[in-house]
């Protein structure tokens, strides 16, 4: 059966959701940085292998200035992490559960269930075996 969380459990549950969003954002950010650094360095190594004397452009810099890519890589990582955090914490429609019959629905403003029970935000409930 569904039971309401105690205030302490509600705080713990929201902290848990917050932490999982932070973890997800960090994971996305680090993955983007890691992947793009990895691909740019392997690209760099391959180019160096094929062209021991890489062609120089006007400024005379190397074709793939890896250090120059670092800020944009980190920037992309940050953007990805922020985008994830934003979407994960966007207040979507909460799932509502009827305390009496267990019917689930998205929040639509009505808390009254057809069975006579009333709906509660699923984030404030937990399932216990009766
Ligand atoms: Zn109901």
- Tell me, in angstroms, the distance from the centre of ligand 1 to residue 120's CA: 10
Residue ranges with CB less than 5 Å from ion ligand 1:
98, 100-101, 103, 113, 115, 117
Task: Tell whether the model's pLDDT for residue 65 goes beyond 70.
Answer: no
On average, the pLDDT of the chain sits at 83
Domain ranges of the chain: 2-89, 95-127
- Tell me, in angstroms, the distance from the centre of ligand 1 to residue 111's CA: 10
Task: Tell whether the model's pLDDT for residue 57 goes beyond 70.
Answer: no
Place of tokens 């973890």: 23
- Please name the helix (run of DSSP H) or strand (run of DSSP E) that holds residue 11, with its range, or none: helix 7-50
Per-residue pLDDT of 91-120, as tens digits, reads 778 899 999 999 999 999 999 999 999 999
Buried b (16+ CB within 10 A) or exposed e, 24-35: ebeebbeebbee
């Amino acid at each position: 059966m569904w039971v309401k969380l105690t205030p302490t459990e509600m705080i713990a549950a929201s902290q848990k959701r917050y932490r999982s969003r932070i973890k997800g954002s960090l994971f996305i950010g680090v993955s983007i940085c890691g992947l793009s650094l990895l691909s740019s360095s392997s690209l760099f190594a391959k180019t160096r292998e094929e062209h021991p004397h890489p062609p120089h452009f006007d400024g005379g810099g190397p074709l793939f200035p890896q250090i120059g890519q670092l800020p944009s890589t980190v920037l992309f990582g940050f953007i990805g992490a922020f985008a994830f955090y934003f979407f994960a914490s966007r207040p979507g429609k909460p799932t509502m559960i009827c305390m009496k019959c267990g019917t689930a629905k998205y929040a639509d403003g009505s808390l009254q269930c057809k069975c006579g029970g009333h709906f509660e935000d699923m984030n404030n409930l937990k399932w216990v075996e009766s």
